[in-house]
Each structure stands twice: as C-alpha cells, then as structure tokens.
Amino acid sequence: MTITDVRARAVGIPVDKPTRMSNRALNDRHYVLVDVTDDTGRTGTGYTYAGTAGAFLTKAAVDDLLAPVYLGADQDDSTGLWSRAYQETLLAGRRGAVVRALSALDIALWDLKAKRAGLPLAALLGGSAAPQPAYASGGYYRPDDGEWTRAVADEIAFNAAQGFTDHKIKVGGLSVAEDARRVAAATAAIADQGDGGRLALDANNAYHSVREAQVAIEAFERAAGDAPLWWFEEPLSPEAIVGHGELASRIRTPVATGEIHQTRWEFRSLIEARAASVLQTDAGVVGGVTEWLRVAHTADSFGLRMAPHWHHNLHVHLTAAVANALVVEYFAAEKGIYNFETLLTPETRLTYGDGQVFVPDRPGIGIEFDGEAVAKYEIGV
C-alpha cells in the first residue's frame, strides 16, 4: 500500500476563561491535524499540540518539509519512513515544531496501520485492552475560580466526583509560601476524600537553579505534612538535564520530566544523568508512536516508569502496550484546559471511571473528528 495524500490543518481553540501556569498565560491552544491516505482510500489521522501559538509553523513543516518524504512511500514502513523524514530535517532543525510535525505524521501512519488491521492501536502494538490507571490533571492559576486555596480544594472535590483519587496541580506561579498554602489545601482535600489519593506538583520549568527548586520542593513537602508528594514535575528548564539529576539526588520527592524532550537521544541524556524516575514522554512531541515506544522500552531497561504528558486519547493505547506504564494524564473536558476533545465527536471522546481510562475498542486510535468543530476552529484557510 502506498501513501497518496498527506493533508495538514491548523486549528486554534481559545480556552474558556483566563488561565495561566508558572511561566505564561494560556489564551489559545493550537493543534495541527494530519491525515495520511493510502491508495485504497483509507485514511489515518495524527495530531500534535503546537503550543499557545505556532500552528502555522508546524503545519508548514508537514507540508513543505516532511510530506514529500511520505508521498508515494509504503505506508507499512513506519520505521524506515521515520528515519528518512528525520534525516530530511537535518538542515531545517531537529527540534521544536519540526519534530512535532514528524510526530503527527508518524501517529497518522500508525492509526492507518491499525485501521487496516481492524484493531485498536493498543492491540496492534501487542497491548492489553484492560483499563489504564489515570490521574486528574489541572490546578492551573485561574483568577475567576476565586481564592487560590479554595480553588484547588474545589477542583480536588470535582476530580473525586468523577472517580479520580490521584491529582496534579501547578506550582511556581506564585511565591513559594503562597504555593505551599495551595499544596496544603490540596493535600487536605485529598485526605477528606479518604481514599489514599496522591498529589503531584507541576512547576512547568519555573525555577532558575537547583537551589531555588530545592527550597521550593522542601517547602511543599512540609506543607503536605505526612503525605508524601507523588512527584515534582519539570522544576527546571528542559535544557538543565544535569541540574535535574543533581536536584533528584538531593530531594525526597521523585522528579518527573520529559514532556518537552524530543527523540531517543535527548532521553538518553536524561537517563544517563539520572534526571528523573518518571518519564513523561509525549508521543506528540517526541517523534510519534515509533519514537515513544523506543524511549519506553529503553526506560524499562533502567527501571524507569512512563507517565506520558497530555493526549490521553492516544496515550491510553501506548501505556497499554508497554510493561513500565505508570499512569495516564487525564484532563476533564469540563475544565476547558486540554480542549482537543472539542474537535471530536462526543461518542469518540475518551471514557473514564474509578480512576481509570478505557482503551477504545474502535480501530486505530479510535477518534473521529467533528467536521463542524474543525471548520469552526481551523485557522489560516
């Protein structure tokens, strides 16, 4: 089977209320959708998050740089195509939007392959159909939600009402003392649920030095009292690989990182530096399904766990297919934070319950785009 068409679309969806994290405001979410069609007329769909801006840049990387590699090629040759496409990026840049574009193309190819086989992607990859453990992500800074400690407590209660026992909130956007109060409030709210839930903290690269990050996490640990924190996510810049390793050796809470890192080579550096015990490899960032699996299997040989960032519709399949999965990050659509599912038909949005997300039984990734929603939010047409 050969690839006859590659189509990329840029989409921008505004968030529903003022939102920020430690280092920037979130006004819009940009995604790039990629369709790959073969000579039988079947189409596979991939996608990536391009950022709060940048969809045009990512789409251009698909259209101008990478699509020519895929057109006319054997659609089953996902590994070979990945290597040839990556080689094509040599002069344009092997990071950022270019690799996100490659990720979307690779995901589309795997979706097409699973559809041809009539199998969910998890099954095609040799994985289980069993529900995957998940946590409720959120805890952003949203002034419209009221006083900071009350807001996180209310969100924990909302998560629990949806059946989640484990939670994540943002830190780094306020003073350490103010964030510590939010951590204490979240910990107390989890304890009130009486289910032994865990709390992870996401700093989004907020701290400028190992010492600054250490001071912060030790304050947060004190605020949490007897409840150990699940992990401390992205405390430093992604480039501070050695710094993450140094911090991890100094603190009690496990370090998690990797959502911005791309390709197996960057993850090799993370692993060698002992920079994290939880890897948050994002298939929409790292280089697609092909590269995500390479990282996951390598991590397994070092005893590291995978807790992929975002894209729960895709990652539920990937965690089901590896032995070292820890958990899937789930964003409730009602929060308006991860708003990708706005583009999907309601019946193909990911289902959840009892702290788990369910592997779709439809072929491929199992998603279907709502044409009217895509048309509403498509930009640059």
Q: Please give the average per-residue pLDDT across 56-64, as a whole number.
A: 98
Q: Residues with Cβ < 8 Å from 18, sequence gap 6 or more?
A: 25, 142, 143, 144
Residue 204 and residue 344 in one domain: yes
Q: In this structure, what token pair is assigned to residue 6? A: 């590659």
Domain annotation covers residue 163? yes
Same domain, 100 and 230: no
> What's the pLDDT at 380?
85
pLDDT at 21: 95
| pTM score | 0.98
Q: What is the CA radius of gyration of the chain?
A: 20
Is 181 found in the same domain as 84? no
Residues 103 and 245 in one domain: no
Confirm whether 366 is domain-assigned.
no
Q: Please write the tens of the pLDDT for every residue from 361-374.
A: 999 999 999 999 99
Instruction: Give pLDDT, residue 195.
Output: 82
* Burial (Cβ within 10 Å: 0-12, 13-18, ≥19) of residue 275: buried
**Same domain, yes or no, for 93 and 132?**
no
pLDDT tens digits for range 290-307? 999 999 999 999 999 999
Q: Based on the domain organization, do 84 and 147 belong to the same domain?
A: no
Looking at the predicted structure, is the pLDDT value of residue 69 above 90? Answer: yes
Q: Are residues 269 and 282 in the same domain?
A: yes
**pLDDT given for residue 236 in this prediction:** 98
Are 319 and 268 found together in one domain?
yes
pLDDT higher than threshold 80 for residue 381: no
Mean predicted lDDT score pLDDT of the chain: 97
For the segment 93-115, what is each residue's pLDDT rounded down to a tens digit?
A: 999 999 999 999 999 999 999 99
Q: What percent of the chain has pLDDT over 70?
A: 100
Given a contact cutoff of 8 angstroms between Cβ atoms, the answer to whether 23 and 45 are in contact is no
Q: Is residue 75 part of a domain?
A: yes
Kindly state whether residue 365 falls inside one of the protein's structural domains.
Answer: no
User: What type of residue is 317?
Assistant: H
112: number of Cβ within 10 Å:
27
pLDDT band at 377 (very low <50, low <70, confident <90, very high): very high
Quick check: 52 pLDDT over 80?
A: yes
* Confidence at residue 78, expressed as pLDDT on a 0 to 100 scale: 95
Q: What is the pLDDT of residue 179?
A: 98
Flag whether pLDDT at 250 surpasses 90: yes
Residues listed for the chain: 381
How many structural domains does the chain have?
A: 2
pLDDT tops 80 at residue 63: yes
The closest of 61, 26, 5, 31 to 378, measured between CA atoms, is 31
CATH no. for residue 189? 3.20.20.120
| Same domain (yes/no): 340, 199 | yes
Which tens digits make up the pLDDT trace of 155-198? 999 999 999 999 999 999 999 999 999 999 999 999 999 889 99
Exposure letters 154-180 (e unless 16+ CB within 10 A, then b): ebbeebbeeebbbbbbbbbbbebeebb
Confidence bin at 1 (pLDDT 50/70/90): confident
pLDDT average, residue stretch 227-239: 98
pLDDT-derived band at 17 (thresholds 50, 70, 90) equals very high
Measured distance CA(64)–CA(90) in Å, rounded:
14
CATH number for the domain that contains residue 111: 3.30.390.10
Residue 202 domain flag? yes
Instruction: Give a yes or no: residue 219 inside a domain.
Output: yes
| DSSP assigned state of 226 | T
Phi, psi of 277 (to 5 degrees): -105, -10
* Token pair for 218: 């030790």
Closest CA to 109 of 140, 69, 148, 139: 69
Token couple for 229: 């924190």
Residue 125 — pLDDT band, cuts 50, 70, 90?
A: very high
Q: Are residues 103 and 141 in the same domain?
A: no
Whether 363 is covered by a domain: the verdict is no
95/155 same-domain check: no
Same domain, 129 and 76: no
Residue 364 is assigned to a structural domain of this protein = no
- The DSSP symbol for 194 reads T
Dump pLDDT digits (tens) for 331-344: 999 999 999 999 99
Q: What is the pLDDT of residue 288?
A: 98
Domain that holds residue 24: 3-118+371-377
